Structure 1
Amino acid sequence: MLSTWEDVKTLGLSLGLPKVEVATSWGNENLKAHGKMWTWWSPYVEAAIFKGDIEEREMLMAADPDTFILHSHYAKHGLLLVAAGRIDPDWAEARLRGTWRQLAPKRFLKDWDAGLVDQA
């Protein structure tokens, strides 16, 4: 299980995906993909934050409330908070890869899928 921001950051950077960078937003380190926030650590609660949507978050919280949590700061946003020490690396990798694809411009993704883009 992943327990810290360093664990999540290391996983994200290890995926070898292009257009991924370490950045700082609102005074906190995060990873950006294609210039957009991709994953980060909450400054409000010990949890990693991944992109998702409110319906998915509600379903995950109902299924596993010890792992998928919510802080009031994020209530209006489609973000998934995963409690420190309960972040499954396989789940996180699949989530990061899927989100990376969602954030990619369509033309870039077409070239990536065709093998025309070098890895990071």
Structure 2
Amino acid sequence: MTEDEMREIALSFPGVVEGSSYGQPAFLVNKKFFTRYRRADASVVLMEVSIDEREMLMEAEPMTFHITAHYKDYPSVLARIATLHPGSYRNFLERRWRKIAPKTLVRAYEKERAG
């Protein structure tokens, strides 16, 4: 996945806006942190990932999933965009989006997807 694809997927969720976090490109929903891009290691920060799930991901796909000391106590994982599957990225983001988006947006999103 490229940086442009990463950005496009993040912005495809209703209510997502661009911002910055730690001086890096970030995405927010309802003024809450959604995800951000880390230029230092070309990774995205994925939230709502339990520590157990994170350990499993890092063991299964060490070229994609990793952490730094900063994230070790948070339910999150870092994923290198070059090897992260776009569908997996979307699924991780949807999990976070559903938790922080206004409920009216979530209901409208579900209704639209149900078609």
TM-score bracket for the superposition, by shorter chain length: 0.7 to 0.9
Which sections of structure 1, spanning at least 5 residues, go unmatched? 116-120
TM norm structure 2 = 0.80
- Give the Cα–Cα distance (whole angstroms) in 1 for the partners of residues 74 and 80 of structure 2: 17
Deviations 1:9-53 (A, max 9, x none): 12212x2x3211001123222011222111111254331111122
* Count of aligned positions: 111
What RMSD in Å do the two structures reach over aligned CA positions?
Answer: 2.1
Cα contact 2:21–2:36 (8 A) shared by 1:
no
Q: 1:91 aligns with which of 76, 88, 93?
A: 88
Q: After TM superposition, which residue ranges in structure 1, 4 or more long, deviate above 6 angstroms? A: none
Q: Which has more helix, going by share of residues?
A: 2
- Give the Cα–Cα distance (whole angstroms) in 1 for the partners of residues 95 and 14 of structure 2: 14
Q: 1:57 aligns with which of 37, 42, 54?
A: 54
TM norm structure 1 = 0.77
Which sections of structure 2, spanning at least 5 residues, go unmatched? none
**Aligned positions of 1:5-16 closer than 5 A:** 6-13=4-11, 15=12
